[in-house]
Amino acid sequence: MTIGDIKNYLDAKVLTGDELLDKEVHTACGCDMMSDVLAFVKDQAVLLTGLCNPQVVRTAEMMDIVCICFVRGKIPSDDIISLAKDRNIAVLATGMKMFPACGILYENGLAGGASSE
């Protein structure tokens, strides 16, 4: 699945990263606790979150997450978007709630990114 596919499935807006829409995403993680993201996420992931602060981008950066999708209609501030842009991370925003957003991506073949390794 590509970031562009995610945008379409979730009817999301692209806040930054139009040039990254062809990038492949292998796994997904839906989470508001960043320490859990740091514990479990695998490569080439999309992070779905309702948390809206710069640490979401920092966490994504540490984990090489390629795309952040803010759910529940949250729109991050410009400094958050520009931090993600600098780090080549696509940012999407959807009005969908976390559960249906995750469900739609799962149904369309995106695996969960949890790993206990």
Partner 1 sequence: MSDKLRFHYEVSGEDFTRAGEASSDLKAKLKLMGASPEVVRKVAICMYEGEINMVIHACGGVIDVTISPADILLELKDVGPGIPDIEKAMQEGYSTASENIRSLGFGAGMGLSNMKKYSDEMKIDTVLGVGTTVTMRINM
Site for partner 1 contains 58 (CB under 8 A): yes
Stretch that binds partner 1, among 3-11, 13-21, 55-63, 105-113 (CB under 8 A): 55-63
**How open is the CA angle 51-55-59, to the nearest 5 degrees?**
100
Task: Out of 64, 78, 103, 115, name the contact with partner 1 by CB under 8 A.
Answer: 64
Site for partner 1 contains 75 (CB under 8 A): no
Neighbours of 21 (CB within 10 A): 17
Site for partner 1 contains 111 (CB under 8 A): no
Size of the site for partner 1 (CB under 8 A): 20
Question: Nearest Cα to 92, choosing from 115, 71, 65?
Answer: 71
CA atoms within 13 A on the CB side of 59: 25
Stretch that binds partner 1, among 4-12, 16-24, 30-38, 104-112 (CB under 8 A): 30-38
Site for partner 1 contains 11 (CB under 8 A): no
Contacts with partner 1, residue ranges (CB under 8 A): 32-36, 38-39, 49, 51, 53-56, 58-59, 61-64, 79
